[in-house]
Amino acid sequence: MNRRTFVRDSIKATTALSLGSSLVAASAPAEGASPSFTFAQVPLPYGYSALEPHIDALTMEIHYSRHHTAYIKNVNDEIAAKSLGFGSETEFFANASKLSDKARNNGGGAWNHNFFWQVMKPSAGAPSGKIAEALTQAFGSVEKFKEQFTITAMGRFGSGWAWLVSDQGKLKIGSTPNQDNPLMDLSELKGTPILALDVWEHAYYLKYQNKRADYIANWWSVVNWEEVAKRLG
Ligand code: MN
């Protein structure tokens, strides 16, 4: 290393430290890449009333335009305030245990809802093809999968999510509290998310009040199995 390289590297290291992100700097993207990843809200792939009668329009509107928009804004505010220099969402969640509560909760909320909107659609049918085969192989039948997933979603006390994940090629059902997700290093449930269900009361209370079981039973009618199958890889 010549002196010029040393000086340049020292300046880079100092800059990284002054951003308060020395851990991040070690795996920061190469020069020229975007210095900091931020979250973006995906456009809702359908209108607010499209999932009626299973999910009502007012719930969808409040959920998307207030709850989800707030998670996106809050996590990006925190990324800016703490100068979090992550290169991707994968890297962000792999470091979840080191994040502030604000970054972890809102980052989870941002990502989980982006995922959730995309695995639903109006007048969805039954799973078929490779997703039906994979569910049958892992759980005995599509019906048995739905039963087990429902039990898990019902069993999440308070706010959280139910998930179908692929963990090293094996399909598993589990749940996470609050806005945690299976991509987070501190999550007990690990794996690639294949399907997700929001069981926060804000997802169903206007229409179903305390009847989470009815919400889940109706939600199966809007699962976009084609999108779910894509996530199987
Ligand atoms: Mn939600």
Domains detected in the chain: 56-233 (3.55.40.20)
What number of helices (H) and strands (E) belong to the chain?
11, 3
Going from the Cα of 67 to the center of ligand 1, the distance in angstroms, rounded, reads 7
Q: How many CB atoms lie within 10 A of CB 132?
A: 16
The pLDDT, as a whole number, for residue 210 is: 96
**CA 11 to ligand 1 center in whole angstroms:** 43
Nearest to 180 by CA among 168, 170, 165: 165
Distance from the alpha carbon of residue 4 to the mean position of ligand 1, in angstroms:
51
* Cα of 131 from ligand 1 centre, angstroms: 25
Q: What is the pLDDT of residue 119?
A: 98
Question: Which pLDDT score is estimated for 17?
Answer: 34
Is 181:41 a contact under the CB 8 Å cutoff? no
Q: Give the contacts of 156 (CB within 8 A, at least 6 positions apart).
A: 162, 175, 177, 199
Q: How far is the CA of 159 from the centre of ligand 1 (A)?
A: 9
What's the CA-to-centroid distance between 197 and ligand 1, angstroms? Answer: 9
Residue 40: burial class (beta carbons within 10 Å; 0-12, 13-18, 19+)? exposed
CA of 113 to the centre of ligand 1 (A): 6
Q: How many Å lie between the centroid of ligand 1 and the Cα of residue 25?
A: 32
CA–CA distance from 139 to each of 23, 135, 198 (Å)? Answer: 41, 6, 22
Paired residues of 174 in beta bridges: 163
Residue 112 Cα to ligand 1 middle (Å): 8
Instruction: Write down the pLDDT at residue 226.
Output: 96
CA of 179 to the centre of ligand 1 (A): 8
Structure tokens at 52: 């009626």
Half-sphere exposure of 42 (CA within 13 A, CB side): 14
The one-digit pLDDT tens for each residue of the chain (233 residues) are 444 443 344 333 333 333 333 333 334 444 444 557 999 999 999 999 999 999 999 999 999 999 999 999 999 999 999 999 999 999 999 999 999 999 999 999 999 999 999 999 998 899 999 999 999 999 999 999 999 999 999 999 999 999 999 999 999 999 999 999 999 999 999 999 999 999 999 999 999 999 999 999 999 999 999 999 999 98
Using the mean position of ligand 1's atoms as its centre, give its distance from the Cα of residue 29 in Å: 31
Q: Tokens at residue 210, please?
A: 């305390």
Cα of 88 from ligand 1 centre, angstroms: 22
